[in-house]
């Protein structure tokens, strides 16, 4: 793999020292594999229980999916989309390397605030502070070695707070259970190699994974290392769980290939028009969860936490290709008390958080292109600002048993305050104070200011057993997200102040769950209306005037139709429409009633799982994505695709297991992401057929 660009600061140095280089880890794992591997349990029943992880879980009262460790280990995801496409209504669009865009009951969203539409958590705590997320944040989480991954679909603001606008993804790390140690080594095409080590003691658990790849496309290699540590102990009458998570990513990034159906062109699909592009990212999280039973049968949970992240990347998608460097340090405290009895239970709590963040955007060389672009996008410093924030939330939930029905009510109120400090010249001049032609430079730097946002969310629902095996529910919910710092302070043209409101969603949802001896079926039907959607209009202003409407149905079914044979199906139909008419940035014309661009109506995956005796398992997976429009005008479209994947594992001995997988078995030409902008069809080509194989050992 080409040498990756690295941070030149102490934080990155420490994490790289902690992990060493990826290939060194792969060698270490290869040495460890002489001691040999764990066995998976026999094929589990199709009707699986949802495990409750206490305060580390998200509320599972609506449309909720939990992927357990056995399923995660069977998938062995090299990217989040390989795992999360098993959840109805969810599409994680794969970008270059570990980059991605998320959609939960939405189209694929882009832009500065798109990351704020979904909340990513680890053990029930957000992985980033409010207002300073990144659209690729899932690569900061160790999904591949998680104990479980929970996905809550639909507004979750009342239980989880800001950014849980359309849903949430929560990774739950493993706890110490004294099960011993295991290691694995996996190899694949295009220089792919991954090593994993897990050590599980009586009070400490360590999970580590290192991945290295040269990339399918030219100059798209990456190296990534992740570490998760959990320690359990007792102190001062409390049960204490300390966790540490760290991630380091260095990747060379590929840009769009251009031209209609370019993903089918043998000469284009593995090319990279932006070999100079890169992304370097580092994240560290610490949390200490203190729990104890109070005399009144209440449980007290006190959780202080700390987070640190840094990212530097080349904005190859912008004229002039400026470099952005951002970083944040944040700390917080969450306190909850829960209690009650069989007829009434409750949970109340508060969360406080502080953040210190900064962002710089700098362009080294001159912009190429038209005289307008050259003049309005000068080299030098474009933005340089600090943002401090203070956050306070109060929340609560009541569950009441009323006869056979269960009623829940959740509520949350949050206040977020930004203190913005511009570190360079106010206005839209060059960094030396001189003016640009054509009316001024593009990049606008607002003067120092403070902004406050107060938001409220509610969730009311009822769950009713219709029979011993059939249960129905209905719920109405709301959620919100305050504007991101980049939407407020990274302005353009004549906009010196972004007067933005928090985005909001209101939804109504009904569903039912059927559970039989050999089958289960979950169905959810929803209607969501988004208001105050933030976007960039035709004048280049950040405004909060947008509206969306989404309606859909989601199905999650499982059937054990023969001994050791299971069939699983997840499918969703969603219609995501613009609910306003407006000229937007980039020449887009939004028309009310049109489909949101990059929002396929159908997403589905089906899996046939077969146990072969007591020693082998196989899974055949079909993944389907329907056609979608590529622009807001609905004038261009991508026809969708169907992919076939195969995975298998075989135990050679009680502690040795071989595993393999073939992705895109039929070698389909397809696009991981497609859009139409600036007069061009643009694609991230999907990878051709890939074969991966490895061995896992335990002792």
Q: How far is CA 593 from CA 168, 334, 487, 522, 549, in A?
A: 27, 42, 26, 29, 9
What does the pLDDT read at residue 49? 64
Q: Is the dihedral of CA 81, 672, 314, 422 positive or negative?
A: negative
Q: Which domains does the chain have, with CATH numbers?
A: 10-698 (2.40.170.20)
- Kindly state the tokens that stand for 90: 């969810």
- Is there a contact between 495 and 542 (Cβ–Cβ < 8 Å)? yes
- Is there a contact between 267 and 246 (Cβ–Cβ < 8 Å)? no
DSSP assignment, residue 366?
P
- Is there a contact between 588 and 573 (Cβ–Cβ < 8 Å)? no
Residue 567 — left, alpha, or beta (φ > 0 → left; ψ -120 to 50 → alpha)? beta
What does the pLDDT read at residue 215? 95
For 11-25, write each residue's pLDDT tens digit: 444 433 444 444 444
Nearest to 161 by CA among 459, 507, 474: 459
Mean pLDDT of 581-599: 89
Nearest to 93 by CA among 665, 529, 628: 628
Q: 3-state DSSP call for residue 493? A: coil
For 669-699, write each residue's pLDDT tens digit: 999 999 998 889 999 999 999 999 999 999 9
- Average pLDDT of the chain? 91
For 283-302, write each residue's pLDDT tens digit: 999 999 999 999 888 999 99
pTM for the complete prediction?
0.92
Q: How far is CA 164 from CA 108, 152, 161, 322, in A?
A: 16, 9, 6, 31
Q: How far is CA 329 from CA 11, 13, 244, 372, in A?
A: 11, 17, 15, 38
Burial 392-401 (b: 16+ CB within 10 A, else e): ebebbbebee
The four Cα atoms 364, 683, 102, 163 give a dihedral, to 10 degrees, of 40
Q: How far apart are CA 568 and CA 665, in angstroms?
A: 19
What does the pLDDT read at residue 278? 97
Burial class (CB in 10 A: 0-12, 13-18, 19+), 523: middle
- Is there a contact between 533 and 165 (Cβ–Cβ < 8 Å)? no
What does the pLDDT read at residue 48? 54
Q: How far apart are CA 160 and CA 150, in angstroms?
A: 13
Residue 579 confidence (pLDDT) above 60: yes
Residue 45 confidence (pLDDT) above 90: no
What does the pLDDT read at residue 37? 33
For 153-201, write each residue's pLDDT tens digit: 999 999 999 999 999 999 999 999 999 999 999 999 999 999 999 999 9
Under the banding of pLDDT at 50, 70 and 90, the label for residue 588 is: confident
């Amino acid at each position: 793999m080409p040498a990756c660009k690295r941070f030149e600061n102490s934080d990155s140095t420490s994490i790289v020292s902690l992990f060493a280089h990826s290939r060194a880890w792969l060698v270490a794992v290869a040495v460890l594999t002489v001691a040999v591997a764990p066995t998976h349990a026999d094929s589990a029943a199709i009707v699986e229980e949802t495990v409750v992880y206490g305060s580390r879980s998200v509320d599972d009262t609506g449309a909720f999916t939990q992927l357990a460790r056995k399923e995660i280990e069977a998938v062995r995801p090299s990217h989040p989309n390989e795992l999360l496409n098993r959840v109805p209504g969810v599409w994680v669009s794969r970008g270059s390397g570990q980059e991605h865009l998320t959609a939960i009951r939405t189209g694929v969203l882009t832009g500065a605030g798109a990351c704020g539409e979904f909340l990513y958590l680890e053990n029930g705590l957000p992985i980033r502070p409010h207002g300073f997320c990144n659209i690729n944040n899932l690569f900061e989480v160790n999904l591949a070695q998680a104990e479980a991954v929970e996905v809550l679909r639909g507004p979750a603001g009342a239980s989880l707070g800001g950014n849980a606008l359309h849903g949430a993804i929560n990774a739950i790390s493993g706890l110490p259970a004294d099960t011993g140690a295991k290691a694995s080594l996996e190899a694949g095409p295009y220089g792919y190699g991954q090593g994993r080590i897990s050590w599980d003691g009586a009070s400490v658990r360590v999970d580590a994974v290192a991945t290295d790849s040269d990339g399918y496309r030219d100059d798209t290699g990456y190296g990534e290392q992740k570490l998760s540590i959990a320690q359990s102990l007792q102190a001062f009458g409390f049960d204490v769980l300390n966790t540490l998570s760290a991630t380091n990513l260095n990747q060379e990034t590929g840009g769009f290939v251009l031209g209609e159906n370019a993903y089918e062109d043998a000469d284009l699909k593995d090319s990279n028009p932006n070999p100079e592009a890169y992304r370097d990212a580092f994240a560290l999280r610490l949390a200490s969860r203190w729990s104890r039973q109070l005399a009144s049968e209440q449980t007290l949970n006190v959780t202080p936490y700390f987070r640190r992240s840094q990212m530097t990347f080349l904005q190859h998608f912008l004229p002039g290709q400026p470099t952005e460097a951002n970083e944040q340090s944040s700390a917080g405290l969450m306190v909850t008390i829960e209690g009650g009895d069989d007829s009434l239970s409750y949970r109340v709590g508060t969360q406080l958080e502080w953040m210190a963040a900064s962002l710089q955007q700098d362009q080294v060389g001159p912009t190429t292109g038209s005289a307008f672009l050259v003049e309005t996008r000068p080299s030098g410093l474009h933005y340089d600002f600090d943002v401090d924030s203070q956050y306070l939330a109060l929340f609560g939930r009541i569950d009441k048993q009323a006869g056979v029905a269960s009623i829940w009510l959740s509520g949350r109120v949050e206040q977020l305050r930004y203190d913005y400090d511009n570190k360079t010249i106010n206005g839209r001049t060059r960094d030396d104070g001189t003016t640009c032609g054509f009316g001024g430079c593009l990049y606008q730097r607002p003067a120092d200011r403070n902004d406050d946002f107060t938001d409220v969310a509610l969730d009311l629902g009822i769950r009713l057993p219709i029979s011993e095996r059939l249960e129905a529910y209905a719920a109405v919910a709301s959620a919100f997200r305050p504007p991101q710092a980049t939407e407020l302070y990274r302005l353009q043209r004549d906009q010196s102040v972004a007067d933005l409101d928090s985005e909001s969603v209101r939804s109504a949802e009904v569903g039912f769950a059927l559970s039989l001896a050999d089958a289960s079926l979950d169905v959810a039907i929803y209607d969501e209306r988004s208001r105050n959607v933030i976007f960039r209009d035709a004048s280049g202003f950040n405004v909060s005037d947008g509206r969306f409407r989404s309606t859909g149905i989601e199905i999650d079914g499982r059937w054990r139709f023969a001994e050791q044979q299971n069939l699983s199906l997840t499918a969703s139909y969603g219609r995501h429409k613009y609910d306003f008419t407006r000229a937007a940035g980039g020449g887009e014309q939004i028309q009310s009633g049109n489909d949101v661009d990059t929002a396929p109506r159908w997403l589905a995956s089906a899996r046939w799982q077969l146990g072969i005796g007591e020693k082998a398992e196989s899974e055949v997976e079909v993944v389907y994505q329907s056609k979608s429009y590529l622009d807001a005008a609905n004038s261009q479209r991508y026809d969708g695709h169907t992919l076939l994947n195969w995975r298998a594992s075989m135990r050679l001995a009680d502690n040795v297991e071989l595993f393999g997988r073939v992705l895109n078995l039929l070698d389909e030409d397809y696009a991981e992401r497609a859009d139409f902008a600036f007069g061009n069809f643009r694609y991230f080509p999907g990878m051709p057929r890939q074969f991966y194989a490895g061995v896992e050992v335990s002792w």
